Amino acid sequence: MKRCREDIYQYLNFENGQIAIYDAVNPLASGRRSLAKEFAKQDIETLFIESWCDDERIIEENVRRVKISSPDYVGWSSEDAVKHYLTRISARIPQFQTMEEKDLNYIKMINAGERLIINNKSFGYLSNRIVFYLLNLHIKSRHTYFARAGVSLEADSYKADASLSEQGEDYAKKMTERLLQHRESEKQAMIDRGETNYELKPLTVWTSTRRRTVETAKYLHEKGYKVRQRSQMSQLNPGVCEKMSERRIREEYPEEVAKHELDPYHHRYPRAESYHDLAVRLEPIILELEREQNDLLIIAHESVLRVLYGYLMACNAADIPFLEFPRDEIIEIIPESYQNEARRIHIPNLPKEIIPGSPQDIKIPVPPSGVPSPMVGGIGSPKDGFSTPQSGLRTPREPERISQQHVDDVV
């Protein structure tokens, strides 16, 4: 435990860390006070979060969905694993003291968000944001789908809010047909497994306010699906680099190019946005995404999908600018107990020229991250042994073609 605290001190004091999660039971009031005093010696504010649940239905459902899939229960039958874990919970109860210390900061979440009790001794900005975040969480499972917007009539322009081209219309129709076909096949698979009364959750669609995303959702809207337009989901602003070739950007902004190649997540070209700026802009979307209980399809530009995917799949910040979402694939993200799972759904019969991700023809090596990103090599879930770098800095391993976002990411 001492080494764990030393790691936290190192991270917060010397690695620009803002929040560290000290994951432990901390069942006794005396132990919690002692822990808070230890952190206070390093000028670290402590916020305790307690999850209190006395609803037997929620407890058993959580054990079945989450706990028995842990490494502790490999090879166990589900019934034996559930029984054993419930016994472990009962064994800990006599030594547990619920949070009531008036001198400590704490949040007590009751029955998975049914109620929150807050003791605000010295909350700062981050503590209040954590409260707001927890208020938006739920434990109900739902699927999230990502799809690119169709090709527009002026695909190389950020400022022009152009309608879909003929190829874009064809893509929108085929994407809709493939997604609905996939959902029906998932429903049939559940019925074949014996869940005869299984029904799909309602599907909600989010787009930006740009015409190309709204029109990509047209066929779903015509079929009666609810479509919501979200202004925060507009693509990353390329600033002065709009419609500029890579060669011209290198000639006119050599210093900016050097900064971008060192830190493509945080760097912004003149009058442009960085990916960090975009992530901040998308914070309300992320909170509402957590609150959403229906299945959700997000139709957006690739820059937006990169940030949202990076959040859901715990990608390194440095990798987010390099995630690829080709148009012939819908990405399906399924919540799992210890890591989300991501799958590709292929959209057949699309013309080759509209499939590549934007940036087109750019091949950039991406270092390993907490998740195999949606790149040519495949898509997967977080792996053990990786962490997220704090700064987002990424040293190129070879000269890169610049501006994933600023040359081509207006489509």
> Which DSSP helix (H) or strand (E) runs through 128?
helix 125-135
Across the chain, mean pLDDT equals 83
pLDDT band at 24 (very low <50, low <70, confident <90, very high): confident
175 token code pair? 């994407």
User: Structural domain boundaries of the chain?
Assistant: 1-135, 144-346
CB contact at 8 A, 126 and 105: no
Question: Of 205, 259, 209, 212, whose CA–CA distance to 394 is shortest?
Answer: 259
CATH code that applies to domain 1-135: 3.40.50.300
DSSP state of 377: T
In this predicted structure, the answer to whether residue 377 has a pLDDT above a threshold of 90 is no
> Distances from the Cα of 183 to the Cαs of 145, 180, 295, 332, in angstroms?
11, 5, 10, 11
Q: What's the rounded mean pLDDT across residues 177-189?
A: 96
The fold for domain 144-346 equals Rossmann fold (3.40.50)
Higher pLDDT, 147 or 1: 147
The strand pairing partners of 401, in sequence order, are: none
Based on its alpha-carbon atoms, the radius of gyration of the chain, rounded to whole angstroms, reads 24
- Please tell me the chain's helix, strand, coil percentages from 3-state DSSP, rounded to the nearest 5: 40, 15, 45
Give the pLDDT score at 92: 63
CB contact at 8 A, 37 and 30: no
Place of tokens 């997967």: 380
Q: Does the annotation count 43 as an active-site position?
A: no
Give the pLDDT score at 355: 86
Give the pLDDT score at 268: 93
Q: What's the rounded mean pLDDT across residues 289-294?
A: 92
Buried b (16+ CB within 10 A) or exposed e, 281-320: bbeebbbebeebeebbbbbbbbbbbbbbbbbbbbbbbbbb
In this predicted structure, the answer to whether residue 80 has a pLDDT above a threshold of 80 is yes
Interatomic CA distance for residues 330 and 146, integer angstroms: 6
In tens, the pLDDT along 185-244 reads: 999 998 998 888 889 999 999 999 999 999 999 999 999 999 999 999 999 999 998 888
Burial of 176 (0-12, 13-18, 19+ CB in 10 A): buried
Same fold, 1-135 and 144-346: yes
pTM recorded for the entire structure:
0.78
Interatomic CA distance for residues 340 and 231, integer angstroms: 27
Give the pLDDT score at 266: 94
Question: Beta 105-110 vs 115-119: how paired, if at all?
Answer: antiparallel
Residues in contact with 160: Cβ distance below 8 Å, sequence separation at least 6, in sequence order: 152, 154
DSSP state of 321: G
Q: H-type helices in 16-124, by residue range?
A: 29-41, 56-65, 78-92
Give the pLDDT score at 211: 95
The strand pairing partners of 109, in sequence order, are: 51, 116
Interatomic CA distance for residues 14 and 155, integer angstroms: 45
> Distances from the Cα of 104 to the Cαs of 5, 113, 118, in angstroms?
19, 21, 10
406 token code pair? 């600023």
Interatomic CA distance for residues 403 and 231, integer angstroms: 24
Q: What's the rounded mean pLDDT across residues 32-37?
A: 94
Give the pLDDT score at 357: 54
The 3-state DSSP class for residue 324 equals coil
Interatomic CA distance for residues 258 and 262, integer angstroms: 6
- Catalytic entry in 7, 23, 54, 319: 23
Interatomic CA distance for residues 201 and 183, integer angstroms: 10
132 token code pair? 């707001």
Question: Beta 295-300 vs 203-207: how paired, if at all?
Answer: parallel
Least confident of 163-167, 196-200, 353-357: 353-357
Question: Of 291, 287, 256, 296, whose CA–CA distance to 272 is shortest?
Answer: 256
CB contact at 8 A, 320 and 310: yes
